[in-house]
Amino acid sequence: MRPLRFLSLAVAVVASAAPRAAHAQPAVPDSVAAFVDRLAREALTANPAGGMTVGIVSDTGLVWTRSYGMADAARGRRATASTVYRIGSITKQFTALMLLQLAEAGTVRLSDPVNRYLPVIDSVRRLPPHAPPVTLVQLATMRGGLAQEPDSLERFLVGGVDEWERVLAAALRHTAYVDAPGARWEYSNIGYAALGAALAVAARRSYVAHVRDAILRPLGMTHTGFVLDSAGRAELAVGYSFEHGPMDSVTPRRELAGRGYKVPNGGLFSTVGDLARFLVFTMGKGPEAVLPRATLARQFGALAWATPDLTAGYGLGFHVMRRGSLVAIGHPGSVAGYLATAYFDPATHVGVIVLRNVDDPKFDILAFTMSVLEKATTGAPPARRP
The beta strands (E) that lie in the chain are given as: 51-58, 61-72, 77-78, 85-86, 240-241, 269-270, 305-306, 312-314, 319-323, 326-335, 338-345, 350-356, 358-359
Tell me what pLDDT residue 241 has: 84
Measure the CA–CA gap between 220 and 223, rounded to whole angstroms. 9
Q: Is 385 part of a structural domain of the chain? A: no
Give the residue from 186, 206, 226 where a domain finishes. Answer: 206
Q: Is 300 part of a structural domain of the chain? A: yes
Which CATH number covers residue 43? Answer: 3.40.710.10
Together in a domain, 317 and 368: yes
Together in a domain, 193 and 225: no
Together in a domain, 355 and 278: yes
What residues contact 299, with CB distance under 8 A and at least 6 apart? 4, 96, 100, 315, 316, 317, 318
Together in a domain, 174 and 303: no
Q: Is 349 part of a structural domain of the chain? A: yes
Measure the CA–CA gap between 193 and 213, rounded to whole angstroms. 19
* Boundaries of domain holding 262: 13-91+212-376
Q: Is 3 part of a structural domain of the chain? A: no
Measure the CA–CA gap between 80 and 84, rounded to whole angstroms. 9
Together in a domain, 325 and 221: yes
- Residue 191's SS3 state is helix
Tell me what pLDDT residue 378 has: 85
Tell me what pLDDT residue 247 has: 55
Together in a domain, 272 and 288: yes
Q: Is 6 part of a structural domain of the chain? A: no
Together in a domain, 184 and 224: no
Q: Which residues of 321-353 are buried (b: 16+ CB within 10 A; e: fewer)?
A: bbeeebbbbbbbbbbbbbbbbbbbbbbbbbbbb
Tell me how far the alpha carbon of residue 249 is from its chain's centroid. 23
Q: Is 4 part of a structural domain of the chain? A: no
Together in a domain, 328 and 358: yes
Together in a domain, 54 and 131: no
The number of distinct structural domains making up the chain is 2
Give the residue from 178, 206, 234 where a domain finishes. Answer: 206
Tell me what pLDDT residue 4 has: 37
Together in a domain, 266 and 344: yes
Element (H, E) at 114: none
DSSP string for residues in 254-281 = HGGG--TT-STTT--EE-HHHHHHHHHI
Give the residue from 158, 180, 206 where a domain finishes. Answer: 206
DSSP string for residues in 332-386 = EEEETTEEEEEEEETTTTEEEEEEESEE-TT--HHHHHHHHHHHHTSSPPPPPP-
**pTM for this entry:** 0.93
Together in a domain, 178 and 323: no
Residues 24 and 349: beta-carbon distance below 8 Å:
yes
Together in a domain, 327 and 244: yes
Q: Which residue in 142, 184, 190, 143 sits closest to 170, CA to CA?
A: 190
The angle at the Cα of 94, spanning 196 to 177, to the nearest 5 degrees, equals 40
Q: Is 383 part of a structural domain of the chain? A: no
Q: Is 283 part of a structural domain of the chain? A: yes
Q: What are phi and psi of 68, to 5 degrees?
A: -140, 145
List per-block mean pLDDT (blocks of 10 residues) for the chain, which spans 386 residues. Answer: 37 47 57 96 91 96 97 94 97 98 98 98 97 98 98 94 97 98 97 99 98 98 96 93 61 74 97 98 97 95 94 98 96 95 97 95 95 85 38
Measure the CA–CA gap between 38 and 92, rounded to whole angstroms. 31
Tell me what pLDDT residue 24 has: 46
